[in-house]
Structure 1
């Protein structure tokens, strides 16, 4: 009887070890914490950095609220800096990718390049490099396109608008053709802008999120 009891104990121990190794219910794998929520990394300028707005009222903050309301398990990291250019975003991106390991990277840059009269080829190259780096790090990419006012010249405005589509096509990125649609192209657009007539006000932020959401939602991994 003693030998049989020892045999049973050995058999039970072996069974428990097998359960632990296989991850079946009762093993230690079943008690492992759930994997962290995928990260949506937003790399932008003042349009995404809540310039002139009360904290928590910008479209990026509204995006996190929208995800929670729709029970989409994802965490938003806003790495936007007012005044940033595509060159600045390109230099900052590698460290951000290492730090956050994002599932999705939203690139909202280029407007300040145009306002400073920087070469369009440089803007295009920087956006392409950012999209490529994000893809190579395993992230999906969403590019938010911008447009310039007519006073910049029809040719310049057209070339600036087209460069976003060119980058999206070449780098296999999703695209919102005009991030400020329904904000900057209204007959009386000033009502959705701050006093400087450059930065959208609080009332414009839900419109901006509405422009982004349909393109962004399919990119977020389903858990």
Structure 2
């Protein structure tokens, strides 16, 4: 699936290190498909916002940014606007009701489907929605889950991040959470815990070091829960 020749993407990220990593991997995926990355929404054909639901302030910033983008879209009807990440999973289709200029909403467990959603949006196939919902498609182990986002974790060969300049790299060892604390929304938007096989983690770290990474941080919602049998 190739991008249109003039397709440029602006991706804005809110929230934690997991979101920063997700955005890096999404950018790498889109660059591999022919998209270019730009620095402002004004010069973009596609604007994506990777969102956070842990703090209310982050969500308020997203609503404000979407309001500004709505003004921009009235001037440029062809602009594609997408909402990604935890707030996308939490709010879901309500985005289309409150912000009808939004073209696609994609939760963090479904980011592997983003290229198809963008393609459908560009072909005027209506509002695009992809969420994990209450029943996650992920199981206890990667081999059973066949999780598409895991493929993104391993696709750094196409990452636009220049690790030769010493940029710290993140490597996900686990995602999701099983705690369901009363004050926290993470299990509802990131799903249950899924732990990556050790061999894949080591392989990814080695490739990042080969690319020039000087520092690698292992991340996850609950890294102290990591176990793989």
Fold similarity call, TM over 0.5: no
TM-score of the pair, normalised by structure 1: 0.31
Q: Which structure features the higher share of helix residues?
A: 1
Q: Which structure features the higher share of strand residues?
A: 2
